Amino acid sequence: MDENRGSPKSVIIGLLLILIGGFLGLDFLRARQGEESLISWSLLINHEAVSRRIDSAINEALVQMGISMKDLILEYSEEKKDGKLKWIHFTKQVRVPTSRPLKEYYRAIEKAVKKVGGRVISHRTLEEKKARSLMMVVGMKSIITCRLTLEQPKRVSSGN
């Protein structure tokens, strides 16, 4: 037998190791994108960086829709920790014009957040006398990284 070639057993073991390595790599990439994975990779993912990327994606989506810093009502961040996991939780309240429906803002933010490995965990719309609000809970898997409220004034009819 030629010494430059591996035995059939070592070739099979090598191929299995490559397959397993590929599977683990793909599963890790899925976890980083916020998708379901078969293995818990939580401790290997930098949740602080992901939460910052989600916040940046939200800001970018709002700016692309014509929202500026003057429309910001409230914004603050705080560090959160659960066991060994650490992340940043952002809270934002933004005034948005009535020129677009709230659903359009929702779709833009959902799309932007998904691109960076996050997801909209939940959302609801509230109707009040003078305003309508869209409240969104955004994060990765079950970790909440942002609570965003978009407030839209109701149009007032001018009848004297």
pTM assigned to the model: 0.71
The span from the CA of 106 to the CA of 63, in Å, is: 14
Does residue 130 surpass a pLDDT of 60?
yes
DSSP assigned state of 25: H
The span from the CA of 68 to the CA of 72, in Å, is: 7
Banded model confidence at residue 37, pLDDT cuts 50, 70, 90: low
User: Residue ranges of the domains in the chain?
Assistant: 1-45, 46-153
Residues 118-129: pLDDT tens digits? 999 999 999 888
**CATH architecture entry for 46-153:** 2-Layer Sandwich (3.30)
The span from the CA of 72 to the CA of 58, in Å, is: 13
Give kind and range of the element (H or E) at residue 102: helix 102-115
